[in-house]
Chains A and B, each alone.
Chain A
Amino acid sequence: MWRSCLRLRDGGRRLLNRPRSGLTASEGLGRKPPIPFRAYVPPAERKKFYQNVSISQGEGGFEINLDHRKLRTPQGKLFTVPSEALAIAVATEWDSQQDTIKMYTMHLTTLCNTSLDNPTQRDKDQLIRAAVKFLDTDTVCYRVEEPETLVELQRNEWDPVISWAERRYGVEIGSSTSITGPSIPARTREVLVSHLASYNMWALQGIEFVVTQLKSLVLTLGLMDLHLTVEQAVLLSRLEEEYQIQKWGNIEWAHDYELQELRARTAAGTLFVHLCSESTAIKHKLLQG
């Protein structure tokens, strides 16, 4: 069983390149030559190959330099970001790596790569639709009917966030105990779609990422509008889990591990959206007199 799992993990390369008969494919029965290994090694296993990280400004924006080499995306494009703050944060991620490059800790780099390469080939409308679709199964709208203490906790913690979102956007959201979830009016969807359309493509990648992590569009809107901190949003997203932990106990290697990972991803996505959306302009006051 484990060997077959290993085969699956390496993408079937063993099956393609080393057939069981022991012959290489070209010596075999006139079959096509084996597909060569990719020259690109997944960065998750790479040793740190640089000493210094710096940023520079190019034509398309800010670039990251690893020693004398320019950082590139997985698809080979030049890694360029629109914001200096984002470039510095990405450079800090690369600079903080020690012996090996742990890609799973480099969330901002990953988000930038996704925005630059757009591997799923989604356009702005598709990203917006994907985010708004989550509203039908939004965590804060999905309520339990028992136990009573959890029902009350959900009411106390989630109702204020829903009320805030309804006031802020002038829409109806509501909540439901039905298995089909809340019924979201069409007008609510339209308003939120047009609100999300005001964000640029990069910011939308970040928003869709955060929505997927928190399983909630409402909580994501709270983060984007500075209404919730990341810690608050994550707690609200994991409300039932926290309730169970308080009742049954905490398992550090599972609960805390997932909590810290969720916080890191949500914080990265939130920061990414804010840094991609802002534009700084210094206005000097004219002294009149």
Chain B
Amino acid sequence: MAALGSPLRTWRGLLRELRYLNAATGRPYRDTAAYRYLVKAFRAHRVTSEKLCRAQHELHFQAATYLCLLRSIREHVALHQEFHGKGTDGERGNEGRFRGLLTSTYASS
């Protein structure tokens, strides 16, 4: 089985990503359908008398996968805007791309 870590950590990560997503709209993340669905799903899988619950593990896996999706999209967009976005187009923009390489190789120039 995949090493997922603690469900609480996944839950906190999901809340953080939902907060980021809704920060721009100004709407509280608790009003979103995604939040309500996740709360319902996590609560439903707590109520079980089985000690080893495959459904619980599946839910955690899906939650962790969704967290990975939200987090990696956010980081991808941030990298896109920093290095590949329209604000850095034209000749000037290319300086940003080589910033790390050139300045470290030709530090004195």
Contact = CB atoms under 8 A, between A and B. Distances in A.
A107 B73 CA distance: 9
Contact of A267 (B65, B77, B100): B65
A268 B37 contact: no
A253 interface: yes
A98 interface: yes
B3 A229 contact: yes
Contacts of A253: 79, 82-84, 96-97
Contacts of B52: none
A278 B59 CA distance: 11
B102 interface: no
Interface string A52-73: 0011000000000000000000
Contact of B65 (A256, A261, A271, A278): A271
A110 interface: no
B66 A271 contact: yes
Contacts of A230: 64-65, 68-69
B21 A270 contact: no
A192 B58 CA distance: 22
A16 interface: no
Interface residues of A, number: 38
A105 B25 contact: no
Interface in B7-64: 21-22, 24-25, 32-34, 37, 41, 57-58, 61-62, 64
Interface in A218-275: 226-232, 251-253, 256-257, 260-261, 263-264, 267-268, 270-271, 274-275
Contacts, number: 102
B100 A270 contact: no
A98 B24 contact: yes
A275 B62 CA distance: 8
A105 B77 contact: yes
A92 interface: yes
B101 A105 contact: no
B73 A105 contact: yes
A274 B69 CA distance: 14
B84 A232 contact: no
Contacts of A228: 2
Contacts of A108: 69
Interface string A84-99: 1100110110011010
4 interchain residue pairs of minimum CB distance: A253-B83, A267-B69, A263-B72, A260-B76
Interface of B: 1-4, 21-22, 24-25, 32-34, 37, 41, 57-58, 61-62, 64-66, 68-69, 72-73, 75-77, 79-80, 82-84, 96-97, 100-101
Given A88-B33, A256-B79, 7 more contacts: A84-B37, A89-B34, A102-B77, A226-B1, A253-B79, A264-B73, A274-B58
